[in-house]
Chains A and B, each alone.
Chain A
Amino acid sequence: MEMYSQAAWLIPLFPLAAFLVLTALGRSFRRAGVLIGTLGSLAAFVLSLFIVIDRLDANTVDYNYAFDWMKIGDYTLRIGFEVTNLTAMMLVVVTLVSFLVNVYSAGYMKNDERITVFYGYVSLFTFSMLGLVLSDNLLSLYIFWELVGVCSFLLVGFWYAKPKARAAAKKAFIVTRIGDAGLLLGILLLFWYMPGHALDFTTIQSVFDGQSGAITTGITTLIALLIFLGAVGKSGQFPLHVWLPDAMEGPTPISALIHAATMVAAGVFLIARTYDIFQDSAAAMETVAYIGGFTAIFAATIALAQNDIKRILAYSTVSQLGYMMMALGLGSLTGGVFHLFTHAFFKALLFLGAGSIIHAVHTQNIHEMGGLGAKMKVTAWTFAIGALALSGIPPLSGFWSKDMILTAAFETNPLLFFVGLAAAFCTALYMSRLFFLVFTGKPGAASSGAQESPVTMTLPLVVLAVPAVAAGFVETPWNGWFGSWLSGEAEAAHGSGVAIVASIAVGLLGIYVGWLVYGKGSVSRTALADRVPWLVKLLERSYYVDELYAVFVVKPLKLLGAILIVIDEYVIGGLVRLTGIATVSAGRLAARLQNGQVQTYSLAAVIGFVIIVIALVGRRFLP
């Protein structure tokens, strides 16, 4: 029955093969490169689709294949892959977005000299991400986790001639490393405490789900928090969110693929995959919920004051990831994963739309745009769909998933419910601000020569618009199919009228306010900035988090580094030099033996022999 699931290991191999071929070909075959990259992701997508269709049946069982990788003493390390409904869903999301980004980049990156390199990196990323999704244990997941990080680094810094891109790539890498270190520690702790040192998800589930008491609550909380730290880094949660807006220096298709739909969602995926650990620790769950909720509102307010189209979307991503975390922390696994699912589509759509705009006007400042709606009809319409889905307007996909999260919050934690509502209002507001400034009104400074992008770029927009509209219907208040498919049992919290009404109301209100200010113009745009300039300034500078880091983390670390350099240079370096000199002189002495005289060689052998005999045997015959 799960015929296709057994072949799931093939999926990552398609993009890997594409990567290898692209690397071997070098830069010369530009068109072939595009074709190979696209075909690799298409093949992966088709197979993933088959797997999901295969698994739609309610009675599917998880498919797991693992083999003994190595044996050290009594410990056997098994690695393999696993297809569950959650991973199957992720497979489709990753491969679909990857495929569309491949198509899109054919237009967007057309004139870039290193387009084949770009496609190679994208293929490598897709491979790593799929490997991460398919991993059946934490160890190989961690390896792929690092690999996607490397790909993100390579792609953010793809235009390495730009100093800002270089700095952003470095920042993305270093900041996420903090989270990765936490994750590694978590895995090591888990390895230490798990019965039989097992790291595969099935065993983890049975150990934590069974309440066997094999691991104490304190340790469970610690492990969960460390894993969460990894997720915080990867998914851009406060306080490690600072790398994600800067990562927008990378090519826009990359922002859509890595920094909106797939890699940044890996943190959410990781928590969903190890959910049993979290469910065992109330403290960890609360931490996840509050960090998520705070990130949601925190990033949404920053997005209100940004002027760079991609940075707005980046903060929006941070905020939406916060929603997902909040849902997971509130115990709604389905809510978090469902929002991941819908968000992947509409946020990828928005980023690709933004790319289409940037491609046309060659600026990212929304104040220089304006009036683009008439010139770029496809982009405008699809962007509107994405924006409405993000703002949570029914019946678009974002509404259903956001509503599910808000309902969960409404029933368990009123404080987070209001935080969520406020964030939803901000979301609707900044999206309407963005939309009206870019597509309506008088043409801005940069939009004079703008025209619609080529079909390779608009086609993915249209394709993505479909799930952005319709993907939400898999789980509605009266239809719990997605939840029961995902976890085997439907989640109880359904259909709270208050939450629905409130969520629609704040969404519409946000759009209305946005329209009043930026569309109709009945309220002055600078009204707020005139009255409370410090607040606007605070938001524009993203609450000065980067500056705070610079003063409290980077500067002290640099000072420490300077001190360490001195120690390293004179104390450790001295020792190293001494060792080096000693070794080299030993080598010189030994080389002196090699004088080419066979008599010397034999003499040395005999002398050595005599020494060994006297030293080892002589002691036995001493009186």
Chain B
Amino acid sequence: MYEGVSFIPMTWTDMLYLAPELSLAVIFLLLIVLDLFLPKRVSRLSIGWLTFAGLLVSLGLVIWRIADMNQAGAEAEAIHLLSNSYRIDDFGSLLKIVFLTGTALIVLLGLGSVREDEAITDKGEFFYLLLPAVIGAMILSSSGNLITLYIGLELLSLTSYVLVGMRRKSSLSAEAAFKYLVTGGISSAFVLFGMSYIYGVTGSVDLAVIAAALPGAIVNFKALVYVGYFFMLAGFGIKIAAAPFHAWAPDVYQGAPSPVSAFLAVIAKGAALAVLFRVTFNTLLIAANGGDATVSDDIFFALLVLAAAAMLAGTATALRQKNAKRLLALSGVANAGYMLVPIGISITVVHSSNFSEFVYYLVAYLFMTVGAFAVLTVVSRAAGHEELKAFSGMYYRAPWTAAAMVVFVLSLAGLPVSGGFFGKLFILLGAANAKAYWLVAIIVVSSVISYYFYFGLVRQMFMRSGSDDRELRVSGAAGVVIWLCAIVTIALGLFPGPLMSGIDAVFSIRYDLLFG
């Protein structure tokens, strides 16, 4: 192991482990230069396609890594780079697959919609700025110490601020970027503040060392441990838009270009959740074994409280929402709540499939959310606004797209036959297994409330005849995204088995998350 060694420099073999991230970085730099030298009249869509290709390359590299590491079964040792500041394991790799797939879909969606968005002046930047953002997300899911983690977080956040403000000619977009910057700054401050306390009481930023030192620290500095974790929790809570830290989300999503909103909803949120998963499980579970479990119990319980608050606040606020994008933002708040559940219920003797539940829901959430945003871009471009009214009579204008939207709505509402149904079911069963019955009740109640506004959307599409009865034009790229998402959503609802067993086949909680 790396203990006792102050610093091991990178070798070329290590660089190979970093190939997915590095390839994206190289492509990013090349695209900046290309964008500079490409004449103005040349369409920037080519940069979009190159971004897309780069993401696919990186995705291939991650898949290759995961296949390579699991040749001998799920219990492969994780690879530690730079004194455990960066770790390559199946936890990170699986999430990277999700992030890269999601970003690729979002770039594809952007290819369909950015061309006609006149508010976006720098169309090249729009695409290649997604690359450092997704690199940030990848670093977050792979980080083994708090510093790397913070670097990943800032890389993701800073690029997201720019991306949100990409519609330079729209004041709404500028406002959103500003709000996101301010809130994001507060979030970073909370996280850093918390981290500094953790460092203070344990003497290390390395998650493994923190875990080992925590039992002692709890005995001596109980209050300070609480301060450290709660501030970190609040900071990440802002990033994932869990209540009561969610109020920025509707405004920011509304102002951002739709593909960027989808990026914030899926990748930024997913990465912050992943890091919460890693930090809490890595440090607190071990600490709980060592003696005083009240602190870790309280922190896990706080996660559940955040989850419950997010579910209830998200659905309740969405009830009166008239704007489709804000509605999706609030739906994202509620979904952040659902995804916090597998983290917050921690591991018990009878239940340890938290990660499979988490990833399953994240995958389902990725496809249904990106799909819904894709339909939204199509609809809002035709209508010129993003109000729910834009969906009215959609069934008569584009029956197949309306059908796809029904699939996404069913999935978001958690009804069969859809990926969202099984995602929610697995999370529900997990919570029931962990005997968190009050949480089960809240999941059910918030789902029922959510039917109201989700079906309001369906009612708009099928029962209202819109003022506009022209046929809805769906661009090729958007159509591909919509259908891909719809098919995957249905497939996940019909055959939940393969994905679940696939995750189980590569992920081992012992080697990929806790130790190793």
Contact = CB atoms under 8 A, between A and B. Distances in A.
Contacts, number: 89
B501 A587 contact: no
Contact of B244 (A587, A589, A596, A607): A607
Interface in B312-342: 312-313, 316-321
A616 B230 CA distance: 10
Contacts of A445: none
B491 interface: no
Most chain A CB atoms below 10 A, which of B302, B317, B318, B321: B317
A602 B230 contact: no
A608 B313 CA distance: 12
Contact of A605 (B186, B250, B301): B186
A621 B245 contact: no
A620 B227 CA distance: 13
Interface string A589-623: 11101101010111011011100110011001100
Contacts of A602: 182-183, 186
A68 interface: yes
B245 A587 contact: no
A587 B318 CA distance: 7
B248 interface: yes
The interface size bin for chain B is 35 or more
Interface stretch (B56-64, B116-124, B361-369, B492-500): B492-500
A71 B250 contact: no
A69 B316 contact: no
Given A608-B244, A616-B301, A598 B183 contact: yes
Contact of B429 (A73, A596, A608, A613): A73
Given A601-B247, A602-B186, A617-B226, A71 B429 contact: no
A71 B356 CA distance: 13
A583 B451 CA distance: 13
Contacts of A613: 226, 230
A70 B419 CA distance: 13
Contacts of B497: 68-71
A567 interface: no
A346 to B, nearest CB: 41
Contacts of B500: 71
A458 to B, nearest CB: 40
A598 B248 contact: yes
A483 to B, nearest CB: 40
A605 B298 contact: no
A616 B305 contact: yes
B430 to A, nearest CB: 11
Contacts of A598: 178-179, 182-183, 248, 251
Contacts of A215: none
Nearest to A73: B429
Interface in A420-449: none
A602 B500 CA distance: 39
A80 B244 CA distance: 48
Nearest to B498: A68
Contact of A594 (B238, B317, B501): B317
Contacts of B243: 608
A586 interface: yes
A68 B178 CA distance: 51
A146 to B, nearest CB: 15
Contacts of B222: 620
A605 B247 contact: yes
A591 B317 contact: yes
A616 B304 CA distance: 12
A594 B250 contact: yes
Given A71-B500, A584-B319, 5 more contacts: A70-B495, A590-B313, A602-B183, A605-B186, A607-B244
Interface of B: 178-179, 182-183, 186, 222-223, 226, 230, 234, 238, 243-245, 247-248, 250-251, 294, 298, 301-302, 305-306, 309, 312-313, 316-321, 422, 429, 449, 495-497, 500-501
5 contacts: A586-B312, A590-B317, A609-B230, A612-B305, A612-B306
Q: Which 8 A-B pairs have the closest CB atoms?
A: A608-B244, A587-B319, A601-B247, A590-B317, A587-B316, A605-B245, A598-B179, A586-B316
